[in-house]
Amino acid sequence: MNFLDNFKEKAKKLEKTIGIGLSKDFTINNNIIQMAEKIVNSSKNKIMLVGEHDIIESLKNKPPKLDSKLKFIVDSDPAKYLARKLFEQQSLDAIIRGGLSSSEFIKEIKKIGNYKYTNRLALLETENRKQFFFAGVGIDEINNFDQKLEIMQNSIAFLKKIGIKPKIGILSGGRNNDLGRDPWIDENIKSTLRLEEKLIELYPNVSIKHYQILIEKAIADDVNLILAPEGIAGNLIYRTLVHLGGGRSYGAIYLKSYNNNRIIIDCSRIAPKFEIEGAFYFALGVQSE
């Protein structure tokens, strides 16, 4: 299923305002501006491009075709500005990290949103253009049973809310017959089996399967939600797919904030145009009309 196409179609019918952070890198900013122009020119949505004074000044030499739907905003701390506009003032319908530092952006989200960790769910695509949602893209995420259970519960609720029937694949550190080879692997596999059992108990009408270490089998079975074995492995799976394997990423939604009606989309600060465009559509496609 092409989730991004569905998001694009929905975006055309909306009239929302999104904020996105600008980088100190001119190439990234140029990509962000081009994609922002594409969005506002094909819909009624508005975009605020937020950056520090020097960044905005440098861009004024090659300005986009600004109109009432596309604006530059100068602020000494763009991450804090975006977080406050979303959480405190609620004057933005969604925010996207864009070119901002991940550590600074996440710090502000956790502080202002009062979150211990973020629970991000990424929209990924294989080289063969199969799209799926992927949990565990942060090195500090899903590193124990409780975190995994929470992110899966939030992910299932999210998919159901946007009209997608979950088909879940859970990954672990090896095959079941690898038990006994290494204590860490043993614990990871056993914990994943326990998670599978718990999720089946909680969601008897949802397709849930432990694919062990066989991510390729999960993709072949058209699973639409995959959980990584732990955070570092998840981050490496994402990076290998997108940066080495010909796949694509379209950003990641912060599930905890989404459950509180605050839409935040993460994307790489070195994101190519397709990821930035995807992040815009992701932010719009999960909106309530």
Looking at the chain, which residues constitute the CATH 3.40.718.10 domain(s)? 127-246
CB 155 within 8 A of CB 162: no
The strand pair at 225-227 and 46-51 is best described as: unpaired
Q: Which of 20, 146, 4, 3 is nearest to 79 (CA)?
A: 20
Asked: is 1-121+251-289 a CATH 3.40.50.10950 domain? The reply is: yes
Looking at the chain, which residues constitute the CATH 3.40.50.10950 domain(s)? 1-121+251-289
Q: In this predicted model, what pLDDT tens digit does every residue of 125-184 receive, in sequence order?
A: 999 999 999 999 988 889 999 999 999 999 999 999 999 999 999 999 999 888 889 998
d(CA 142, CA 57): 41
| Whether residue 56 has pLDDT greater than 70 | yes
Measured between alpha carbons, how far is residue 99 from residues 3, 25, 47, 259 in Å?
Answer: 24, 8, 15, 25
Q: In this predicted model, what pLDDT tens digit does every residue of 226-246 receive, in sequence order?
A: 999 999 999 999 999 998 999
pLDDT of residue 288: 72
The residue ranking higher by pLDDT, 220 or 68, is 220
Measured between alpha carbons, how far is residue 10 from residues 14, 15, 118, 266, 280 in Å?
Answer: 7, 11, 26, 20, 12
Structural domain 127-246, CATH architecture? 3-Layer(aba) Sandwich (3.40)
Q: Give the helix/strand (H/E) hosting 200.
A: helix 183-202
Tokens encoding 51: 């950056």
Q: In this predicted model, what pLDDT tens digit does every residue of 17-45 receive, in sequence order?
A: 999 999 988 889 999 999 999 999 999 99
Which residues are paired to 218 by β-bridges? none
DSSP 177: G
95 — pLDDT class (breaks 50, 70, 90)? very high
Measured between alpha carbons, how far is residue 210 from residues 27, 53, 99, 192 in Å?
Answer: 42, 50, 36, 7
CB 98 within 8 A of CB 269: yes
Least confident of 47-56, 107-116, 149-158, 167-176: 107-116
